[in-house]
Chain A
Amino acid sequence: MRKQLKKFAQFTALSSLLVLSACGGNQAAGDEDGESSGGAVKADIGVISYISGPGAAYGEAITNGLKLAQEEINGKGEVEINLVIEDSAGKQDQALTAAQKLMNSENVTGIIGPTLSTEMNVVGPEADLNGVPIMGTSTTAEGIPQIGDYVFRNSLPEALAIPASIDKAIEKYDAKKVAILYGNDDVFTKSGFDTMKKAAEEKGLEILTIETFQKGQSDYNAQLTKIKGLKPDLILASALYNEGAVIMDQARKMGIDVPFVGGNGFNSPEVINIAGDAANGLIVATPWYGEKEDDKVKEFVGKYEEEYGKKPDQFAAQAYDALYIMAEALKNAGEADRDALRDALAEIQGFNGILGEFSFDEEGDVVMDPTVLVIEGGAFKEFN
């Protein structure tokens, strides 16, 4: 007992020393930096991204988009951004550790990320508490910017995207009966499902059945056979593209030929790569449309393809715009200061990026018009 007490005392002494030294470091170095010298505003932007693990494809797209934007922004010379990239592996604890590391580094003025809404739910409050502006580029679940004053996002929330796509699908196919399918072990797909269900109920659609699946599942035949027997006009699927593409493939093989309406995570060119022709008939609303007749968009797609050998998806596009928004705010703030950056971010209105015209509302949430797309003949087309 006594021995344990002693150990405990040693441990607390040691850890408090560590904490003290960490604080000391913060204050000492705080004075040197922060102020910008001369013309360009120099700032470190921390990035927390899902770089390893099952969702590493998202992290890859996001960091690619950020790096491309960084190169261009630094090239212009008004703002000089240094990216400090940390891996969260899609895990809440690791995301939090990464965030704390970034927040303790006094050079980091703002943070971009983390990738998942689940991660943002633990990282957001911490960043808000420490007064570090944080912007999610892919966190679309309900309630993210409402975490606090320092929490922003530039990703189109499901609550805006899903009703828009359901509306258009009802109009076109005169749908009355729907089946819903969603991943029940992920905050993102679960929140998408809640939005879908609400939207379906508001439009007076009859919900025939609600089926669930889990991340990484490979066999969806049981759920799909059941759905097939109920003969819906439309299938609402809240899934990430990896699972979603396989679901569509198995559904089409089984002879289910009704259109699918998907959420944000379903919206990726990868769906076409994985499912091929089976992907035809997927309807999604998106902030990002790569075929848009717009010079900025064309330039971005060209550069991205040249650099990384594939077409950018919405995650890359949102990350790209996010860094531009950060740069714009830094420029307006005029110095690499966390509070000044927050205030400048909150004032961003009518920012014109590759996603279209973008503004923050008073809570730090997104104000923009989504485009509804459908996959036809193996490509995303505008859905009218």
Chain B
Amino acid sequence: MLIEQLINGITLGSIYAIVALGFTLVFGVLGIINMAHGEIFMFGAFIGVVVTSTFKGPLWLAFMAAILVTAAMGYLLERFALRPLRNKQGVSHLAPLISTIGVSILLENLSHHIFGPGNHPFRASFAEISFQIGSITVYLVQIVIFIISVLLMYALSFWLGKTKAGKALRATAENLETASLLGVDVKRTITMTVIIASAMGGIAGILVGMAFNSVTPQMGLSIGLKGLAIIILGGMGNVKGAMAGGLILGLAETFVVVYGNSGYKDAIAFAAIIVILLIRPQGLFGQKISA
């Protein structure tokens, strides 16, 4: 029973982590909290539902479609909601935050009209594969989710730390103008970042759909807020911090249910975050920018 709960916690935590990775990437580079990230995540899940349930397509196609659509949404978000506000005289530094909130409301209502209200089941035979170890049932999806989240974290760390594009990105994060003077194509780097972050949101969306068989237009909001809490816990803009923070929150939520009262699930999980932040105000892995 305990091991099953451990697996539940790690699965939930891995999903939180992938969502938080997208948040942290955008924050690390642009210093913007992208409130539309949760809704892009939700759209990824819906694309998965449409491809697998409506068109009976294979799962890999669902992943491709979700990545493409969410990447395109990331581009549009950058192009129309963020770029026009950048480097303008007299624009409040809160303006991008508000504009992403606007996008998130727009997307939620849009999905309401396109996909309809209520829960949409995610029918993929892959999600049904399970095996028994003793008395414990483990679903393949749960393992896949964990592996994907770890892979994404390492890929992102590697990309940021070791590749030229990653260096350009970090330079941009350090100082926009200086980076641009030194020959970094700032516009492209920023667009790239938002697109990658959004595509990661899309991947997380499909994984949630598979694991929990539940996709609704409202799912973006709560997971978006949790992603936000996680990057604060892990250290703003830190990749490993997002991963660790996600796992901590997922496990904390699960074990509050196991040993305590499920009514206090969120309260205790977030109280734990506050305690950690009191001890380490910069977050677990806190530095401003890091690989």
Contact = CB atoms under 8 A, between A and B. Distances in A.
B4 A225 contact: yes
Interface stretch (B115-123, B151-159, B161-169): B115-123
B74 interface: no
B212 A276 contact: no
Interface string B238-272: 00000000000000011001100111011000000
A130 interface: no
B137 interface: yes
A249 interface: yes
Given A218-B208, A222-B258, A223-B262, A254 B137 contact: yes
Given A216-B219, A274-B121, A246 B214 contact: yes
Interface stretch (B5-13, B54-62, B280-288): B5-13
Contact of A222 (B9, B116, B118, B119): B9
A184 B263 CA distance: 7
A217 B4 CA distance: 20
A274 B122 CA distance: 9
A53 B118 CA distance: 10
Nearest to B216: A216
Interface in A194-233: 211-214, 216-223, 225-226, 228-229
B202 interface: no
A249 B121 contact: yes
Nearest to B261: A212
A190 to B, nearest CB: 11
A226 B257 contact: yes
A interface residue count range (under 10 / 10 to 19 / 20 to 34 / 35 or more): 35 or more
Contacts of B257: 211, 222-223, 226
Interface stretch (A10-18, A54-62, A281-289): A54-62
A228 B211 CA distance: 18
Interface string A334-373: 0000000000000000000000000000000000000000
Interface string A238-267: 000011011001100111000000000000
B91 interface: no
B118 A211 contact: no
Interface residues of B, number: 41
B213 interface: yes
A36 interface: no
B73 to A, nearest CB: 21
Contacts of A245: 119, 121
A225 B5 contact: yes
B270 to A, nearest CB: 13
Contacts of B121: 245, 249, 273-276
A213 B139 contact: no
Given A216-B219, A222-B254, A242-B118, 10 more contacts: A56-B112, A60-B117, A211-B257, A212-B261, A213-B262, A221-B8, A225-B5, A226-B1, A228-B1, A250-B213
Interface of B: 1, 4-5, 8-9, 11-12, 109, 112, 116-121, 123, 128, 130, 137, 139, 208, 211-219, 221-222, 253-254, 257-258, 261-263, 265-266
29 contacts: A52-B109, A54-B117, A54-B216, A54-B217, A56-B112, A56-B117, A57-B116, A212-B262, A216-B216, A219-B8, A220-B212, A221-B254, A222-B9, A222-B12, A222-B254, A222-B262, A223-B262, A225-B4, A225-B8, A226-B5, A243-B119, A245-B121, A246-B212, A246-B213, A246-B214, A249-B214, A253-B128, A253-B213, A274-B121
